[in-house]
């Protein structure tokens, strides 16, 4: 028994490979082109959509032009640049009030160009469940807050006390053992990033 165990462990040690090193934390953007272009490509690869908005003054018009916004009967907005919300944030004492929420417009804190992910400070939201209960999610992100990779993102994040935040990359996705991908089963069916000032 001991000989078998030793032989198995020796085989595992021989087969083990060294993990790939992390990319250097030199702040360099590993992709081709600028950060905004790389972010838009990565966002699309994650199943999301990136819409460039040249100026903050054009954000509301860009939001209203989205098909999801045009069809939505129930909209929640935690972003001051969009006045089309159907109920006030202080109405959200309980997540049940979000039943049937079709569109949520939230501010993003920073975006990661290599993955298309956006950091959302859910602790600053009146109800963090909005991130998962909305049918469609829109994240408004200043282009100046793009970073090249996760190293740079973690260097910028600050946690002064208890809180809650998440990286959001594209819509909700899940796959089973048969490799059938389902979008929107456990969260938003679509995610759009409005990159402002790009």
Please give the order of strands across the beta sheet that includes 146-147.
146-147, 110-112, 117-120, 166-168
Q: Under a CB-based contact definition with an 8 Å cutoff, are residues 113 and 42 in contact?
A: yes
pLDDT tens, residue by residue, 9-26: 888 888 877 766 656 655
pLDDT digits (tens, 9 = 90+) for 133-160: 899 999 999 999 999 998 889 889 887 7
Domain with 79, as residue range(s), is: 35-196
* Assigned domain for 162 exists: yes
If one counts the domains in the chain, the total is 1
Tell me the whole-structure pTM to 2 decimals: 0.80
What per-residue confidence (pLDDT) applies to 33? 59
Q: Quick one: tokens of 146?
A: 């793009």
Q: What CATH number is given to the structural domain containing 189? A: 3.40.50.10420
Contact yes or no for 116/46 (Cβ under 8 A): yes
């Amino acid at each position: 028994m001991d000989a078998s165990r030793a032989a198995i462990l020796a085989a595992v040690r021989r087969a083990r490979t060294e993990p790939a090193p992390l990319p250097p934390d030199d702040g360099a953007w590993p992709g081709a082109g600028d950060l905004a272009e790389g972010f838009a490509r990565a966002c699309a690869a994650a199943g999301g959509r990136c819409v460039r908005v040249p100026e903050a003054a054009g954000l509301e018009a860009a939001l209203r032009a989205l098909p999801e916004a045009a069809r939505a009967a129930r909209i929640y907005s935690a972003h001051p640049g969009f006045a089309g919300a159907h109920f006030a944030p202080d109405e959200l004492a309980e997540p049940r009030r979000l039943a049937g929420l079709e569109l949520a417009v939230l501010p993003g804190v920073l975006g990661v160009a290599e993955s298309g992910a956006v950091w959302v400070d859910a602790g600053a939201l009146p109800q963090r469940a909005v991130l998962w209960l909305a049918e469609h999610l829109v994240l408004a992100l200043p282009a100046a807050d793009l970073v090249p990779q996760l190293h740079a993102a973690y260097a910028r994040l600050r946690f002064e006390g208890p809180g809650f935040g998440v990286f959001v990359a594209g819509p909700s996705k899940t796959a089973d053992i048969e490799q059938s991908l389902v979008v929107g089963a456990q969260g938003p069916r679509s995610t759009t990033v409005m990159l402002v000032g790009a």
